[in-house]
């Protein structure tokens, strides 16, 4: 009996994971090489960072999105990058949520935010679209529900006379990319905390100022 215990436990874990609804993490961006590495695609970069760290292949096309499925710890997850272009992201997200019966409190949308300082993270359980067209589209396709978590990644405001559109479609400098890589690692930590310890613990981790932030305020 004892010799079979590990196998039984693994089977029980797999069965439990099978009965759980997956968490759906959606990163927003624009498809195509010309948009790769731009500020507006920071949501895609976060999904890529999670996928690489957790060994999840985001390579199947479903409901107008590149999708990957796997486990983080023992929790089933789906990672998605809508390929509809930013302003129509809801077409993809709405179908994914509906088909896979994702509870809205297990849908986490990750996107760029002009109103946060560069690389600052903010994790909230719900809210409006804040003028972000991708989020506006998602809310529209979820029957105007705003009750789903979102991880916002700051890209800062355009400098000087730079227009918003040209700014969000601009690539990062080498120094900015290094700062961003650190923030993506922190975002990955937050995702793991959400899944293993609960959303509130994840939000506390993300939203508590780091020592460097308190020095700058």
Per the listing, tokens 């107008």 go with: 64
pLDDT tens digit string along 58-117? Answer: 999 999 999 999 999 999 999 999 999 999 999 999 999 999 999 999 999 999 999 999
Q: How confident is the model at residue 213 (pLDDT cuts 50, 70, 90)?
A: low
Q: How confident is the model at residue 13 (pLDDT cuts 50, 70, 90)?
A: very low
Per the listing, tokens 């959303």 go with: 199
pLDDT of residue 141: 95
Name the average pLDDT for the chain.
Answer: 88
Q: How confident is the model at residue 171 (pLDDT cuts 50, 70, 90)?
A: confident
pLDDT of residue 212: 61
**Considering only 41-50, 102-111, 118-127, 168-177, which range has the smallest mean pLDDT?**
168-177
pLDDT tens digit string along 27-40? Answer: 999 999 888 888 88
pLDDT of residue 10: 46
Q: What's the token pair of residue 5?
A: 């215990």
pLDDT at 216 > cutoff 70: no
pLDDT of residue 19: 64
CA dist 44 and 66 (Å) reads 10
Q: How much helix, strand and coil, in percent to the nearest 5, is found in the chain? A: 50, 20, 30
Query: 134 or 5: whose pLDDT is higher?
Result: 134
CA dist 149 and 216 (Å) reads 28
Q: How confident is the model at residue 166 (pLDDT cuts 50, 70, 90)?
A: confident
pLDDT of residue 187: 96
pTM: 0.87
CA dist 46 and 44 (Å) reads 5
Q: How confident is the model at residue 18 (pLDDT cuts 50, 70, 90)?
A: low
Kindly list the catalytic residues. Answer: 40
């Amino acid at each position: 009996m004892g010799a079979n215990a590990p196998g039984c436990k693994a089977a029980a874990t797999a069965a439990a994971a099978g009965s759980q609804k997956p968490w759906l993490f959606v990163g927003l961006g624009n498809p195509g090489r010309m948009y790769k590495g731009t500020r507006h695609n920071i949501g895609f970069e976060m999904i890529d960072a999670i996928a690489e760290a957790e060994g999840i292949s985001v390579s199947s096309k479903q409901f107008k999105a590149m999708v990957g499925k796997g486990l983080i710890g023992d929790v089933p997850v789906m990672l998605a990058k809508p390929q509809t272009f930013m302003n129509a992201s809801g077409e993809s997200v709405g179908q994914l949520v509906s088909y896979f019966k994702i509870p809205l409190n297990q849908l986490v949308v990750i996107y760029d935010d002009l109103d946060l300082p560069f690389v600052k993270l903010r994790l909230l359980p719900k809210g409006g679209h804040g003028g972000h067209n991708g989020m506006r589209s998602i809310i529209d396709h979820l029957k105007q529900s705003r009750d789903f978590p979102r991880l916002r990644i700051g890209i800062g405001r355009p400098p000087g006379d730079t227009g918003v559109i040209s700014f969000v479609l601009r690539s990062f400098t080498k120094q900015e990319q290094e700062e961003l890589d650190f923030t993506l690692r922190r975002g990955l930590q937050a995702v793991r905390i959400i899944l293993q310890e609960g959303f509130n613990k994840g939000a506390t981790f993300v939203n508590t100022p780091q020592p460097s932030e308190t020095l700058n305020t």
